[in-house]
Structures are given as structure tokens and as C-alpha cells.
């Protein structure tokens, strides 16, 4: 499974990229707004840090506006993936941008039917929002299972399932078990994957035992 980090914070991206665990980045207008910087500037810097796909989202709601903004974003760096919403206009823009060779991430997916349409439109990524489904009393992971199963029936589909709105490590493990291609994680969730109290306890015990020997290794 690939891990994308869901943030526009350059310092966070650099720190996590140094661990070798970041395969890409996802951003959205809300995340970029928090930076207080121009979108093009932020995306260009992220693309200089991360070699994998960097999702940059359009803000237009009509297909022509999405195409104009998407082409602008795609020119920033070769690893930009243009992010469009799962609307009729978004899918129109997806098909045209994909036909031009631009990777497209179709976002705000909440049903398997929508995911099927995105794949037919040539999306490079489909982003189902599991946490937001959980919030309204639905089982977000059921949607991931449906999409993975549908895509597996059609080898000509090249769309990767990018699990979004991830809230905790359990979401990550469940998505991996279901065969999702990518999970995009807030920095805190990615760091939480490292943690387990028994790891900390075991390490403390090993170090205490070693200290009593008064030895050094090198």
C-alpha cells in the first residue's frame, strides 16, 4: 500500500519524507488556505520535496473552469495530479484532462456507483471519504470493499483506490486488508502507525538490562 500525506504543511512533508514513508501528497483548498500562501507556490514546493503524485484541487465548479485551472496546475510540475470533485462537470473535466495525459484524482466519492463513473472517465485515483461516512452512521470501509471488488472485475480500469478522510490507524489497516492501493493520512495518523505501548515497554526493558552490563557496542 502507498502512503500519501494529507497536508500542505511543507515542514511536516519534509519531516515525513525523510522517513521514506511518503509516496505522495494530497492537498485541498482548505489545507492550502491554512498555509497563508499562494496555491501555485505551495504546490511547486511540495513537488520539489516529493517525487510521487501531488494532488492539487481546482476550485471552479463548471467543467470549463476546471479545465482552465487544471491545466494551470498541471504545468506547475510533472508530478501534479489535478483533483476534481465527483460531479458531472468534474467527470467531464477528468475525461478531458486524462486524455491530455494529466493524472486526475476524483475526490468526494461516497458511493460505488460514483467510483465506477470515475474509472470510466479515466481517473488515475478515486478518493472515497471513509471517515465522513462513519460520521453519518455508515460503514466507510464497506464502500472501500465494494470499490475494490468492482475494479477487480475490470482489468482495463487503471484507477487506484485512494482511501481518504482517514481518522486513525485502524482505518489504514482495514484499507490495506481490503486491497486499497493508497491511503492518504494526516501527519498525526501516519506517525501513530509507529506507536505501540508494548514496543516502548520492551525497548525500555532491553536498555535497562544492557545498562547493567556496563558494556558498549562500539
Q: pLDDT tens-digit profile of 30-65?
A: 999 998 999 999 999 999 999 999 999 999 999 999
Integer-rounded Cα Rg, in Å, for the chain is 20
Mean pLDDT across the chain, nearest whole number?
97
From 198, 159, 192, select the one nearest 173 (Cα to Cα): 192
Average pLDDT over residues 54-77: 98
User: For the chain, which domains are there?
Assistant: 2-211 (3.20.20.70)
> How far apart are alpha carbons 119 and 152 in whole angstroms?
12
Average pLDDT over residues 157-174: 98
What spatial distance separates the first Cα and last Cα of the chain, rounded to whole Å?
37
Go through 14-41 and write b for each residue having 16 or more CB atoms within 10 A of its CB, e for each that does not. Answer: eebbeeeebbbbbbbeebbeebeeebee
Report the pLDDT value the prediction gives residue 33, as an integer from 0 to 100: 93
Runs of H (alpha helix) within the chain: 10-17, 29-35, 39-49, 63-74, 88-99, 112-120, 130-135, 140-152, 169-178, 187-192, 197-211
Report the pLDDT value the prediction gives residue 82, as an integer from 0 to 100: 98
Report the pLDDT value the prediction gives residue 57, as an integer from 0 to 100: 97
Report the pLDDT value the prediction gives residue 71, as an integer from 0 to 100: 98
Q: Of 34, 38, 83, 201, which residue is the catalytic one? A: 83
Report the pLDDT value the prediction gives residue 105, as an integer from 0 to 100: 98
Please say whether the dihedral angle defined by the alpha carbons of residues 75, 79, 82 and 83, taken in this order, is positive or negative: negative
Tens digit of each residue's pLDDT (9 = 90 or more) over 181-215: 999 999 999 999 999 999 999 999 999 999 999 99
Report the pLDDT value the prediction gives residue 53, as an integer from 0 to 100: 98
Question: Known catalytic residue: 83?
Answer: yes
Report the pLDDT value the prediction gives residue 196, as an integer from 0 to 100: 94
Average pLDDT over residues 76-95: 98
Amino acid at each position: 500500500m502507498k502512503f500519501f500525506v494529507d497536508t500542505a504543511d511543507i515542514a511536516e512533508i519534509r519531516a515525513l519524507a525523510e522517513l521514506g514513508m511518503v509516496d505522495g501528497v494530497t492537498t485541498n483548498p482548505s489545507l492550502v488556505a491554512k498555509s497563508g500562501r499562494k496555491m501555485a507556490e505551495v504546490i511547486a514546493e511540495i513537488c520539489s520535496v516529493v517525487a510521487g503524485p501531488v494532488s492539487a484541487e481546482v476550485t471552479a465548479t463548471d467543467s470549463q473552469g476546471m479545465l482552465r485551472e487544471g491545466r494551470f496546475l498541471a504545468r506547475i510540475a510533472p508530478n501534479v495530479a489535478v483533483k476534481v470533485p465527483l460531479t458531472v462537470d468534474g467527470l467531464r473535466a477528468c475525461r478531458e484532462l486524462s486524455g491530455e495525459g494529466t493524472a486526475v484524482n476524483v475526490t468526494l466519492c461516497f458511493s460505488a456507483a460514483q467510483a465506477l463513473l470515475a474509472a470510466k472517465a479515466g481517473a488515475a485515483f478515486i478518493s472515497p471519504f471513509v471517515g465522513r461516512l462513519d460520521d453519518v452512521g455508515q460503514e466507510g470501509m464497506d464502500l472501500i470493499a465494494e470499490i475494490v471488488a468492482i475494479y477487480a472485475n475490470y482489468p482495463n480500469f487503471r484507477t487506484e483506490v485512494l482511501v481518504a478522510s482517514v481518522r486513525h490507524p485502524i482505518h489504514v489497516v482495514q484499507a490495506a486488508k481490503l486491497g486499497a492501493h493508497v491511503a492518504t493520512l494526516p501527519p498525526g495518523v501516519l506517525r501513530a502507525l509507529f506507536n505501540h505501548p508494548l514496543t516502548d515497554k520492551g525497548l525500555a526493558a532491553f536498555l535497562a538490562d544492557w545498562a547493567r552490563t556496563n558494556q558498549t557496542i562500539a
